[in-house]
Structure 1
Amino acid sequence: MVKNRLVNIMLIILITLTLIGVLATVLYTQVFQETRAEGEPTIDDILKVSVETEEITTNLLSNHIIRTQFVIQLDNDDAVNEFQKRDFQVENIIIQELSDMRESDFRGSEGIVKMQNGIKKRINEIMQSGEVVEVYMNKRMIQ
């Protein structure tokens, strides 16, 4: 009878310790961890995988000159490294896209979004280690 009682007490202690451990784990993961929606990166995360191009000056189709700069957001660190190595190709793509545009294309946001999407698509065609998530026009001056 003593053995059964000792075994019962030992099982109760083990179950209690297990429940305390599970409760502590749940509280730690739910309460003390930073809560953030999955798939929504913070601004710090975006800055880590973003690259700013040099200022580019080129002619537009309408014989105007544009001076512009872009910030390009990529999806991972490997893509950032590849992008930095391909900077001359990226600048060439941007110049080609801008050369096909007129000054009037920059009057509304629709033309700018179309141009950003075109640049994004063409850069993604050459990227191998990742892809462009977003293209942001940082500066724009048309003369």
Structure 2
Amino acid sequence: MFKNKMLQWLIMILIAITLIALASFILWEYLDAKSQPSDPLEKAANSVEDVKAKKMTAQQEKENSVEIKEILTNLTGKHYVKVSFSFLLDNAKAKEEFELLTPRVRAIILQTLADLTAEQASGSKGQDLISTTLINKINPILSKGKLVRVDITDINIVSN
């Protein structure tokens, strides 16, 4: 009788420990997944923190900047956007390479904008999102330097 009761208690304790361990694991996975951004655009914004620019004078910024004006494209939904950019590169060789890759850069810009809704592209957060996403997508195609900043110099979002 005593052995039977002891065996029942032992089984209940093992089941309780197993359930606690399982609940802890599930909770850990849930909290870990919640702490990481699920939106790919948010991940892009977080990863741009790795790009550090050296301090430049106004003259150096002017010499290492490239403008792309008036890109007109559809956004997701019934909106379109007309936008102009200024791209700051870290050196003259990177600027030359960037200018040679302008058609590819334009394609990257169009692809990035096509994935956004009007709400995502609006406001300062939307502009930051566009800028950081472009930095993350353009830097891998550059071999002679880095893109350190993207400024949106003009943006108009219009509904159809």
Q: Same fold (TM over 0.5)?
A: yes
Matched, 1:104 2:125: no
- Deviation sequence 1:78-110 (CA, Å, 0-9, x none): 001000000000000000010001111133211
Q: Does the CA contact (< 8 Å) of 2:73 and 2:81 recur in 1? A: yes
Query: Once the two structures are superposed, what CA deviation does each residue of 1:42-93 show, in whole Å capped at 9, x if it has no partner?
Result: 1111111000013200000122110001000000000010000000000000
Aligned to 1:138: 153
Name the CA distance, whole Å, in 1 between partners of 2:123 and 2:156: 14
TM-score (norm 1): 0.70
Query: Given the alignment, which residue of 109, 112, 132 partners 1:94?
Result: 109
Output the CA distance in 2 between the equivalents of 1:121 and 1:45.
Answer: 23
Q: Is the 8 A contact 2:121 2:130 kept in 1?
A: no
1:22-101 maps to which residues of 2 (within 5 A)? 39-101=54-116
**Aligned structure 1 segments of 4 or more residues deviating by more than 4 angstroms:** none
* Structure number with bigger Rg: 1
Aligned partner of 2:128 in structure 1 is: 113
Q: Unaligned 5+ residue runs, structure 1?
A: 1-38
1:124 deviation in Å? Answer: 0.2
CA distance in 2 between counterparts of 1:107 and 1:131 reads 27
Q: 2:149 and 2:75 mapped to 1: Cα distance?
A: 23
Matching residue's letter, 1:122: K
How well do the aligned residues superpose, as a CA RMSD in angstroms?
1.0
- What is the TM-score when the length of structure 2 is the normalising length? 0.63
